[in-house]
Structure 1
């Protein structure tokens, strides 16, 4: 699956960031600590080509190696031929050296890349994980811990608000469940004579689901809109940020992100179909590469990153020659 266009860390130089247009790197890199502009980089004026001089090497068609065979091909600085491959088709980075020798962007619409006739180099191993806005991606374990903490808080809130409705619902269904359980233990599979479920059971269940969904919305959406973190995410040191820029989600994006995972709660009424949808959404991040986006992340165009540990503020040094006190 192709990566959406945006500013990402340049795999060739992790201290810089470049614009990915969905097919290749475009424009010049910018330092990693500089906030990238919104959208692609501005187009650059094409540099006029110098007039050919006498004795210049013959031109060759783009995408074809220079004339004269592999013996005339010199690798760019920092590149060596792959073992078992001819130089014309197997240059790859030399460990510990910075690739070089590639020209900058030739003009608008021409991404920076190898010279004509040189194959684009590949990583000798697995490519590095992206670092959106300079932060590493949150691990699946950290995201799971954050979600479990939030569900625990939401469960306690739901018990406090839905307590009376839950008690009434149990009173409506307990005669049927008790008799069905007694017959199952005794090996009786007949259904005749079972008590009927109370008439108010369906209405009570719907009220419980509506209140739980509203509590979830009120708990998660405002917090995510303001800072990209709930209580669970703060404790797990993860945060949701937009793919485009390191900024707050805003109410609209936070509501779209929550609705994909939270609204199916109302469908628990339909044979727990909503629970199946939520499970699929939760595990979808395990199969998404390279940004580890769940379905609710894809809809809101967000990504979950891991925050660094807060370093303790060093104490101010005390001057023994000038103890604290009033200045004379």
Structure 2
């Protein structure tokens, strides 16, 4: 098994992926909803949040099951591997990981709390530095060789 991926690289990869998905969708959404104002129309903001979450889920699920890494992970030279053998998470593990990371965030109020605990979990998890979405899918983030 390659060495574990650095937590800072994991964070930067998530930021890259988040921007890659959310910025274009926000621009398209604001062009389609000309009346949309983030400060006045919370219903539309929630709708945009759900759209971003669903698109991010599909993006991450497809990237992980076909390549083992997203664009952000490619840029940071890390990848997702199965804990038992280091293989890419093809099929259900990739989709499970994407679902546990992304979909709870659309639940009003408590979804954000779960997401926050999920992503912070790797800061105290030993020995593999797994987040909850890694544990659910039995994956680990490793450096690429």
Give TM-score, length-normalised by structure 2: 0.88
Gaps of 5+ in 1: 1-132, 174-200, 309-328
Aligned counterpart, 1:236: 76
**Higher percent of residues as strand:** 1
Match of 2:19 among 149, 152, 156: 152
Distance in 1 separating the partners of 2:96 and 2:69:
15
Structure number with higher relative contact order (C-alpha < 8 Å, ≥ 6 residues apart) = 2
- Change in Cα spacing, 1:230 to 1:156, as seen in structure 2 (3 Å) is same
Per-residue deviation, 1:244: 1.6
Aligned counterpart, 1:286: 123
**Higher percent of residues as helix:** 2
Distance in 2 separating the partners of 1:262 and 1:144:
15
Aligned counterpart, 1:264: 104
Match of 1:227 among 63, 67, 90: 67
How many equivalent residue pairs? 145
Larger CA Rg, structure 1 vs 2: 1
- Change in Cα spacing, 1:203 to 1:165, as seen in structure 2 (3 Å) is farther
Distance in 2 separating the partners of 1:275 and 1:150:
18
Matched, 1:275 2:115: no
Aligned counterpart, 2:7: 140
Per-residue deviation, 1:166: 6.0
Distance in 1 separating the partners of 2:15 and 2:74:
13
Contact map agreement 1:157 1:215 (CA 8 A) in 2:
no
- Change in Cα spacing, 1:264 to 1:165, as seen in structure 2 (3 Å) is farther
Q: Deviations over 1:17-44 (max 9, x none)?
A: xxxxxxxxxxxxxxxxxxxxxxxxxxxx
Per-residue deviation, 1:274: 2.0
Contact map agreement 1:222 1:251 (CA 8 A) in 2:
no
Contact map agreement 2:105 2:114 (CA 8 A) in 1:
no
Q: Deviations over 1:303-323 (max 9, x none)?
A: 111113xxxxxxxxxxxxxxx
C-alpha RMSD over aligned residues: 2.0
- Change in Cα spacing, 1:235 to 1:171, as seen in structure 2 (3 Å) is closer
Aligned counterpart, 2:139: 302
Give TM-score, length-normalised by structure 1: 0.41
Q: Deviations over 1:205-263 (max 9, x none)?
A: 34212211221122211011112100000010001011122322113111110111100
Distance in 1 separating the partners of 2:58 and 2:100:
15
Gaps of 5+ in 2: none
Aligned counterpart, 2:92: 252
